Amino acid sequence: MPKLRSRLKEIVDSRGLSIRQVARDIDYRFESVRQMYNDEMERFPRDLIEKLCAYLNVSPGDLFRLGDNE
């Protein structure tokens, strides 16, 4: 079964942003943003997704993709 994968890294990198800057700008814990950036999160906090969508001007569907099981 395919797993839900974070696309935050490709979105942030394509805009020339750092994850530290994103975390600071959305006022969110750096470690949580880093885990999502590196696709290491087991569960995605709703408030983090909301803040990232507003900050990056994307929809929740843009932040994720279905990927292989790895």
Residue 16 located in a structural domain: yes
| pLDDT tens sequence across 53-62 | 999 999 999 9
Adjacent-strand bridge partners of 64? 6
* Spatial distance between the Cα atoms of 53 and 62, rounded to a whole number of angstroms: 9
Specify the pLDDT at position 1.
84
What is the CATH classification number for the domain harbouring 23?
1.10.260
Collect all residues with Cβ–Cβ distance below 8 Å to 58 and sequence separation of at least 6.
11, 52
The number of folded domains in the chain is 1
Residue 2 located in a structural domain: no
Domain with 25, as residue range(s), is: 7-57
Residue 69 located in a structural domain: no
Residue 29 located in a structural domain: yes
Intervals of the chain under pLDDT 70: 69-70
Considering only CA atoms, which of 1, 27, 47, 67 is closest in space to residue 9?
Answer: 67
Residue 24 located in a structural domain: yes
